[in-house]
Structure formats: structure tokens, C-alpha cells
Structure 1
Amino acid sequence: MKGEIMKVQDYCKAMQAEVSAWKEKLEAMKKVTDSYGTEQKEKILPLVGQLEQEVTSAQMRVQQLETECPSDWSPMKNEIDDLFGTIGSSVDRAWRDLSPGEVGG
């Protein structure tokens, strides 16, 4: 039983690290957007705002799992994995769209 709990904590720690990485990317996106004209800002900022909400809800799911620490947490893990997959690709796509021609990621 103790090993199972440890796994939940490890998983949650890894997921929180992912959330932090996304938040850094979103902050970077905002900085890049600051240098844009009004028209481009109006296109990008709502997207960044939406992504921030998704990231926050993902973070809350992880915190819920961490707090509840259910003995059978595989359904929650599957749900979080799906959520993180979706958000991860959204953040990456937005990042790519935002920095065309820029080297790095």
C-alpha cells in the first residue's frame, strides 16, 4: 500500500513540473505578444488566456489526486494524462504559431 501512495506522489510531482513548464511558456508568449501590434495582440491574448485556464484546471486535477490519494487512482491518472496531452499540444501549437521563424522552442 505504501508503495502505491509513493507512486501517486511521484506522478503528481512530475505533473506539477509539467504545469510549471507550461506556465513559463505562457509567460514567455505574453512577453512576445507585448512587442506586437494591437491587431495581433487581440488575436493572441484570448488564446493565451484560454490556455491559462486549461493549465489551471489541469493543476487543480493533480492537486485533487494528490489530496485524495485514492487506492485505485488509475482512472484519475488516465483522465489527467488525456488532459495533459491535449493541453500540451495546444501550448506547443500556440508557441509555434507565435514564434514563426524564431529558432528554439
Structure 2
Amino acid sequence: MRLRRVWLGLSALALATVLLNVALVLLIQRAHTQAVGAQAQRQLAQGLTAELQQEAEQLASLARSYAATGQPRYLWTATATSWPSAPAKGSAGRPSSRPPTGRR
């Protein structure tokens, strides 16, 4: 009778250990999936940041060229290379796609 109680107690302990291990494995797997998703999002954000920085440098260069020369072709180039964007609420949208007529 005493051996049977010990056997049942150890069996219950072993079952609880296995269930705990399964729960921990599931939690670790979920954390890993979230970490992989966060890493992918971070890489995407870094790529977009680098692209935005390059675009900003290019537009700054075109603005400097326009300021130094006054030639409207730099404004036309800047408009043509800018990212297309949706107009904000209540705004008139993007400026005209025609090149400027001259220096003011």
C-alpha cells in the first residue's frame, strides 16, 4: 500500500514536470516568433531609414544647386525624384508638375 502511494506521487510529479516543460517550450517558441518578427520589422525600418536619408541628401543637394545657380531645372529634377505621396487632409495636394518659369 505504501509503495503504491509513493508510485502515484512520483507519477504525478513526473506528469506535472512534463506538462511544465511543454508549457515552457510553448512560451519559448512564442517568444522566438515575436523576436523574429521584431527583427524583420527592424530590418525593414533600417532599409526605409537609409532610403529616406539618401533621398533627403539628394534633395538637399538639388536645393543647394538651385540656390547657387537659380536654374529652375534643379527644381524640376527635385519634383521628379521626390516620392509620390498622398495629400494630407485638407491640403491642395502636390504642386504642379510643370517646371517653374524662372527666378523670383
TM-score by length of 1: 0.40
Higher helix share: 1
Task: Work out which structure has the larger RCO, using CA pairs closer than 8 Å and 6 or more positions apart in sequence.
Answer: 1
TM-score by length of 2: 0.40
Q: Choose 1 or 2 for highest CA Rg.
A: 2
